[in-house]
């Protein structure tokens, strides 16, 4: 049974150079790189995976290839399976369960802007649909709605709702959730992983670990073992890179550019995302040099 502790990587979806197709060989290479870096698990088809641009067939194949590769390396897999259509979210939840996922990431319904009661009923319908653990995904900056602590507490009563990815940008929610529920809190925002850990968080679903899996995994191990001095040192070292990946352009644009600069080309981003201007590329080069990330292989 998955414990939701440590570092999990929010994977990019690798495309061909023109963005026209998924590059399945690079899925395997990416999973292997994460395993070599000591990551606990991977999260395909989330925000970083450009999931809204995937066809149903592409989505299914990305999940299947990721699970097959991860099983070879002993990694947990938590696919994104959410939608702003409850029926679609239930369908995808059942699919990832049948494909062998360890849990599913279920985002708050975007664009519709449902009430708290609407979101409660949405997640309960998913939780009732099959026996697969759910990680709630609270990211109001992307979806336009946020789960309140009161709604999270209501949802936590369901045995299949077992964790929450907190990408609210706030540090006051995690301590309340930890105090009032049995949910595991995972950071969904690399710069706030350590502050959330101080409030009872147990790990992160990370963007930065695509580049430096060993460092993110090491930081999580340190705070889970109570070595806060090491965790703080690693956090301070990671912070400029983590901020840059989130602020230089929309995720995953900076990440895909950085990976290409390191020799891990993942193809184009798909419209409506587009390549950044040259100033972003230069800023990423400066960050990678400052972080001493090697151009080939697993970062040091």
Q: Summarize pLDDT for 211-221 with one digit per residue, the tens.
A: 999 999 999 99
* C-alpha to C-alpha distance for 246 and 97, rounded to whole angstroms: 30
And the tokens for 29?
């290479």
And the tokens for 131?
């026996």
Pick the catalytic residue from 8, 120, 165, 256.
165
Averaged pLDDT score across all residues of the chain: 96
Per-residue model confidence (pLDDT) at position 297? 45
* C-alpha to C-alpha distance for 87 and 104, rounded to whole angstroms: 15
Q: What is the mean pLDDT of residues 147-166?
A: 98
Residue 8 pLDDT level (bands cut at 50, 70, 90): very high
Q: Summarize pLDDT for 263-285 with one digit per residue, the tens.
A: 999 999 999 999 999 999 999 99
**Strand order in 161-166's β-sheet?**
76-77, 41-43, 6-10, 203-206, 184-187, 161-166, 134-138, 104-107
Q: Summarize pLDDT for 58-76 with one digit per residue, the tens.
A: 999 999 999 999 999 999 9
Q: Summarize pLDDT for 16-61 with one digit per residue, the tens.
A: 999 999 999 999 999 999 999 999 999 999 999 999 999 999 999 9
Per-residue model confidence (pLDDT) at position 293? 87
* C-alpha to C-alpha distance for 56 and 165, rounded to whole angstroms: 24
Per-residue model confidence (pLDDT) at position 54? 98
* C-alpha to C-alpha distance for 291 and 279, rounded to whole angstroms: 18
Nearest CA to 151 out of 111, 112, 180, 184 is that of: 180
Q: Summarize pLDDT for 101-143 with one digit per residue, the tens.
A: 999 999 999 999 999 999 999 999 999 999 999 999 999 999 9
Angle between helices 278-291 and 228-247 (to 10 degrees): 170
Least confident residue range of 146-155, 161-170, 287-296: 287-296
Which residues, 6+ apart, have CB-to-CB distance to 202 below 8 Å? 4, 5, 6, 184, 185, 186, 224
* C-alpha to C-alpha distance for 83 and 269, rounded to whole angstroms: 21
Residue 295 pLDDT level (bands cut at 50, 70, 90): low
Pick the catalytic residue from 8, 59, 120, 137.
137
Residue 300 pLDDT level (bands cut at 50, 70, 90): very low
Question: Coil, helix or strand for 107?
Answer: strand
Annotation marks residue 256 as catalytic = no
And the tokens for 104?
């599913």
Could you tell me the domains of the chain?
6-225 (3.20.20.70)
Are 65 and 79 in contact by the 8 Å Cβ rule? The answer is no
Per-residue model confidence (pLDDT) at position 1? 81
Q: What is the mean pLDDT of residues 159-183?
A: 97
Residue corresponding to tokens 């009872």: 200
- Say if residue 299's pLDDT is above 90: no
């Amino acid at each position: 049974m998955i414990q939701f502790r440590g570092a999990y990587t929010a994977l990019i979806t690798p495309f061909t150079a023109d963005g026209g197709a998924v590059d399945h060989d690079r899925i395997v290479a990416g999973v292997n790189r994460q395993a070599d870096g000591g990551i606990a698990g991977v999260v395909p088809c989330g925000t970083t995976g450009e999931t809204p641009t995937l066809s149903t067939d592409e989505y299914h194949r990305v999940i299947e290839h990721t699970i097959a590769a991860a099983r070879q390396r002993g990694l947990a897999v938590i696919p994104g399976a959410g939608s702003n259509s409850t029926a679609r979210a239930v369908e995808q939840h059942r699919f990832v369960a049948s494909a062998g996922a360890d849990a599913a990431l279920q985002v708050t319904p975007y664009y519709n802007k449902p009430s708290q009661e609407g979101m409660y009923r949405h997640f309960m319908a998913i939780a009732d649909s099959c026996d697969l653990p759910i990680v709630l995904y609270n990211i109001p900056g992307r979806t336009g709605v946020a789960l309140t602590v009161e709604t999270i507490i209501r949802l936590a009563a369901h045995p299949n709702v077992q964790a929450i990815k907190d990408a609210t940008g706030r540090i006051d929610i995690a301590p309340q959730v930890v105090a009032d529920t049995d949910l595991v809190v995972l950071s969904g925002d690399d710069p706030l992983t350590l502050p959330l850990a101080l409030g009872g968080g147990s790990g992160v679903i990370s963007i930065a670990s695509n580049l430096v899996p060993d460092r993110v995994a090491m930081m999580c191990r340190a705070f889970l073992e109570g070595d806060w001095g090491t965790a703080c040192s690693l956090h301070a070292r990671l912070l400029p890179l983590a901020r840059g990946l989130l602020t230089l352009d929309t995720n995953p644009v900076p990440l895909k550019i950085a990976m290409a600069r390191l020799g891990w080309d993942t193809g184009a981003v798909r419209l409506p995302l587009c390549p950044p201007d040259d100033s972003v590329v230069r800023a990423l080069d400066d960050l990678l040099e400052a972080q001493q990330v090697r151009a080939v292989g697993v970062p040091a």
